[in-house]
Chain A
Amino acid sequence: MFERFTKEARVAVIEAQDWAIEQQVAEIDVPHLLLALLGASDTAAVRLLVESGLSIDLVVEELNAIRRRGGLSDADAEALEQLGIDLERVVERVEQAHGEYALADRAEGSRRGRFAGRQHRPFTHGAKRVLEHSLREAQDLGDKDIGTEHILLAVVTQPGPTADMLATYGIDHVTLRRALTRRRAS
Chain B
Amino acid sequence: MTEATDLAARAGDRDPRVGLRAVAALCRLLEQLEAVQVRSARTHGWSWQEIADELGVSRQAVHKKHGRR
What is the interface of chain A, defined by CB distance below 8 A to chain B?
70-72, 75-77, 79-80, 82-83, 85, 87, 90, 94, 97-98, 102-103, 105-107, 111, 113
A-B contact pairs, 18 of them (CB 8 A): A70-B29, A70-B33, A72-B25, A72-B29, A76-B24, A77-B25, A79-B18, A79-B19, A80-B25, A82-B12, A82-B18, A83-B22, A83-B26, A90-B29, A94-B33, A98-B40, A103-B36, A105-B32
A82 touches B25 (CB 8 A): no
Q: Any chain A CB within 8 A of the CB of B13?
A: yes
Instruction: Tell me if B's interface is mostly helix, strand, loop or mixed.
Output: helix
Q: Which of A76, A83, A102 contacts B36 (CB 8 A)?
A: A102
Say how far B24's CB is from chain A's closest CB, in angstroms.
8
How many residue pairs, one in A and one in B, have C-beta atoms under 8 Å apart?
A: 60
Q: Which of A79, A105, A106 contacts B25 (CB 8 A)?
A: A79
Closest to B30 in A: A70
Say how far B9's CB is from chain A's closest CB, in angstroms.
8
